[in-house]
Amino acid sequence: MKYVSFLFHIYQPPIQDPRIIREIVNESYLPLTQAIRDFPDLHFTMNINLSLVEHLYEFAPQVLTNIRAAYEQGNLELTNSGAYHPIFPLLPREEVIRQLELNEQGIRKLLPIDEFRPKGVFPPEMAFEYQLASLFAKQGYEWTITDDTSVAWQQIPIPSNKIYQCEGVSVFLRSNYWSNRFANNRMPDSGKGCVDELARSLADWQGDGDGYVIIALDGETFGHHHEQLGAPFLHDLFQAFRDNPRPIQLAHLTEINGLFPHVSQFIPPASWSMDEKNIEARDYFPLWKSHGNRIHALQWQFTHCVLKKVRRLQTNKEINREMDRALFSCQYWWASFWRFEPREIYKGAFNMMAILQHVGELLGDNYRQIEEGEEIFRELVTEVEKERIEREGK
């Protein structure tokens, strides 16, 4: 049997415009979750971060109803992740644990799913490093996932009938090839065509024996990024998997984890947004903290400055939750060499500055508490404006 595991990742930052949330709900989240719910005999895996759950709880509860219904009928597996979508390898370990705990607690409360005990962890942006495996193992998780690009570059064979493990945790490898075929709308137009091509290619790759492939991508791909991949396509695709006579079926990632043998293997750092040049330069997380990116360096200097001051106020739940939300990845993504957008960078920076000012107010010594952070903030703004002017002049 050939097993295909779809992992749909859906997320929006905590500062997202409600109008955009509603747009994506109608174009993608409602059609996707309804399609999953409509096929209770097919198995899927989904990651949804608490930041999006909070938006949907306010603006689109039907999406949460669909997710809960599919979860309860057994065909949708949910992962755990960072509540507000931070980049795990760039955070202190205690912050990773905190984000995992917040996410699990929030999903139990707001979906609500009282018995939510996820087996796997989806690290935001699939940003992974070996040390995370040990942390996940200590927290009781069975598996995690990252992209296969870094593994392939290191000439480590991509497994199709075994599962690599680090520190006792299975590390699934997303098929960059197949995931991007769907993400870039380069698959056949019909569901049957997609399933037939998958079945043929897996047979060519894996032979007659059992094997698997993991297709993990943004859920927003379906309907929002690509209108052609909306509700009709999803139903056609899922129906094709249901009707296909070939030995191919959909499976949860946890199911796959129990079907194939485990082999100990070092997995190099990776994310799903890097290429071979990044790997050669050991620049594994280039969209969020790239070597030579002065804006990234200042953003993280500012982040750690504010984080350190906030966590000293352990008894103040309000400001600590503000800090939790402020760690979302998008502010760094927009400062990358490829996606530069000052307005989005400033959203994160001004949010951090407001938190720092709140710290000063709470401690009754506003200037002394914000002096260090304000200096970094001014330097960050200067660098952003220099980059903006340089780009506009080209």
pLDDT of residue 321: 98
pLDDT reading at 367 higher than 80: no
pLDDT of residue 393: 82
Number of C-alpha atoms within 13 angstroms, CB side, residue 9? Answer: 21
Give which of 224, 216, 145, 205 is closest to 182, Cα–Cα: 216
Residue 366: pLDDT band with limits 50, 70, 90: low
pLDDT reading at 286 higher than 90: yes
Question: In percent, how much of the chain has pLDDT > 90?
Answer: 95
Q: Which of 28-32, 241-245, 387-391 has the highest mean pLDDT?
A: 28-32
pLDDT of residue 364: 81
Q: 142 by DSSP, 3-state: which?
A: coil
* pLDDT tens-digit readout, 76-87: 999 999 999 999
- Cα–Cα separations (whole angstroms), residue 102 to 50, 105, 158: 8, 5, 33
Question: In percent, how much of the chain has pLDDT > 70?
Answer: 99
Residue 281: pLDDT band with limits 50, 70, 90: very high
- Cα–Cα separations (whole angstroms), residue 85 to 119, 128, 201: 18, 13, 34
Mean pLDDT, all residues of the chain: 97
Give which of 270, 141, 272 is closest to 218, Cα–Cα: 272
The lowest-confidence range among 89-93, 103-107, 335-339 is 335-339
pLDDT of residue 265: 98
DSSP letters spanning 195-250: HHHHHHHHHHHHTTS-EEEEEEEEGGGBTTTBGGGSHHHHHHHHHHHHH--SSEEE
Mean pLDDT in residue range 31-47: 99
Q: 20 by DSSP, 3-state: which?
A: helix
- Cα–Cα separations (whole angstroms), residue 247 to 128, 198, 208, 243, 275: 33, 11, 10, 11, 33
Residue 363: pLDDT band with limits 50, 70, 90: confident
* pLDDT tens-digit readout, 138-154: 999 999 999 999 999 99
pLDDT of residue 117: 95
Mean pLDDT in residue range 174-203: 97
Tell which wins on pLDDT, 363 or 134: 134
Q: Is 72 exposed, middle or buried (0-12, 13-18, 19+ CB in 10 A)?
A: exposed
pLDDT reading at 162 higher than 70: yes
Mean pLDDT in residue range 247-262: 98
Identify the bridge partners of residue 5 per DSSP, sorted by sequence position: 214
- In the structure encoding, which two tokens stand for residue 214, read together? 């993991």
pLDDT reading at 123 higher than 90: yes
Spatial contact of 271 and 148, defined as CB atoms under 8 Å apart: no
Strands 76-78 and 120-121, by their bridges, are unpaired
pLDDT of residue 394: 64
Q: Using CA atoms, how far apart are residues 122 and 146, in angstroms rounded to an integer?
A: 8
